[in-house]
Structure 1
Amino acid sequence: MAFAHETVSRTERYDGAIFSVYTDEVTMSDGGTAARDVVENRGAVVVVALDDQDRVVLIKQYRHPLGATIWELPAGLCDVEGEDPAVTAARELAEEADLTAGRIEPLINLHTSPGFSNEYVQLFVARDLAPVPETDRHHREAEEADLEVHRVPLDEAADMVLRGEITNAAAVAGILAAARTSA
């Protein structure tokens, strides 16, 4: 039987637009308590967009905490209250890759770093891709202003993961899951 860990107290450390940070005092299996820092996140969606040639849409985007531009999949926060995650995924695909999808289906779900965060990411596979008309395209700002959109054969993207060229956790999971389900 698993021990029922309980939060005895919570101290807010930071409350921001994207995440909040708390220190919880939690009961432990040995009868004591321990402080645990927790990052609460509103969650995100990630899109594995596959074209009719089985190429995956990848983006290269600057990520300040890394000080680098890295390979990712189109993705975004679940920041519209009550919005269906598949709708969020479609919106992010249009905003980041200028694409619509005839089909968007659930692929996998994951917790990105459960040792300190409750972030829950829902991954979708998108097919039957079409371009967003030029006049309807999202105006990209900040770090999205210079993101690059590429199409890479799915097998090559999986090889990029295994070579350590793609390190974004959600991109790694999404590409490998899509490669497995496409095989």
Structure 2
Amino acid sequence: MGAATAPVVADVPAPRPVLSTGLVHEGRVFDLRADKVDLGEGGRVTREYLDHPGAVAVIALDDDERVLLLRQYRHPVRRELWEPPAGLLDVEGEDARDAAARELAEEADLRAARWDVLVDYYTSPGGSNEALRVYLARDLSPVPDDERHVREAEEADMEVRWVALDDAVAAVLAGRVHNPSAVVGILAAATSRAGGWASLRPAGTPWPERRGG
């Protein structure tokens, strides 16, 4: 008699009725909303959360299996963090892969001929609806000098470093790297590489978790 098949582990849509919603604060990038939600037997509760457009991040891997990381100041945590290129999905209707390619060019002066979906996640689902997709970018080439983006504000003095993927994994597990896209993306890349990259999904894979689909 064969072993029983284990059930598939997968998140599923399961919205609860929203009785009312209100804008608590309108921000430059995201808003703070308050929803009154009917949880059935759990009663009616009010939940505040950040209404976020979503974002993309890029694990750029070169031919020597080094990952590109950028050191950038993040004011809320008062730290300089090592991060992959990343950015908001704040252009209405923009394809997520196109947004990732734009961020890779603007922040790292790189283009990629090969794109795959590495991993999707919610950054902080207890308090935000931000969905984030991490791409794996390979077959890299530099952006021509006359087409490069002029970086400003926190991006003006970013340090660029190429780190061996195994060393990046070690930095994550040792607690030296804290940016969520770096942690998730680096570990996902190492896991996918160990499996011969079989887990990678096409760059155009549907992403229903993104706000607005």
TM-score, normalised to structure 2, is: 0.82
2:148 is the alignment partner of 1:115: no
Runs of 4+ in 1 over 4 A off after TM superposition: none
Q: 2:153 and 2:114 mapped to 1: Cα distance? A: 29
The CA deviation string for residues 26-63 of structure 1, in whole angstroms up to 9 with x for no partner, is 11232521110011100000000000000000000000
2:144 is the alignment partner of 1:133: yes
- In 2 relative to 1, CA 56–4 (structure 1 residues): closer, same or farther, beyond 3 Å? closer
Per the alignment, residue 106 of structure 1 pairs with 117
**Superposition map of 1:1-183 within 5 A:** 5-30=16-41, 32-183=43-194
- In 2 relative to 1, CA 134–178 (structure 1 residues): closer, same or farther, beyond 3 Å? same
Q: Show structure 1 runs of 5+ residues with no match.
A: none
The CA deviation string for residues 157-182 of structure 1, in whole angstroms up to 9 with x for no partner, is 01000011111111111000001111
Deviates more, 1:43-52 or 1:99-108: 99-108
Q: CA deviation at 1:18?
A: 1.1
Give the CA RMSD over aligned residues: 1.4
Deviates more, 1:152-161 or 1:9-18: 9-18
Q: Secondary structure at the match of 1:26?
A: strand
Deviates more, 1:21-30 or 1:62-71: 21-30
More strand by share: 1
Deviates more, 1:51-60 or 1:163-172: 163-172
Does the CA contact (< 8 Å) of 1:101 and 1:127 recur in 2? yes
Q: Show structure 2 runs of 5+ residues with no match.
A: 1-12, 195-213
- In 2 relative to 1, CA 3–59 (structure 1 residues): closer, same or farther, beyond 3 Å? closer
Deviates more, 1:148-157 or 1:15-24: 15-24
Does the CA contact (< 8 Å) of 1:90 and 1:104 recur in 2? no
Q: 2:72 and 2:84 mapped to 1: Cα distance? A: 10
- In 2 relative to 1, CA 3–130 (structure 1 residues): closer, same or farther, beyond 3 Å? closer
Q: 1:110 and 1:133 mapped to 2: Cα distance? A: 33
Does the CA contact (< 8 Å) of 1:41 and 1:119 recur in 2? yes
Q: 1:45 and 1:99 mapped to 2: Cα distance? A: 16
Q: Secondary structure at the match of 1:116?
A: coil
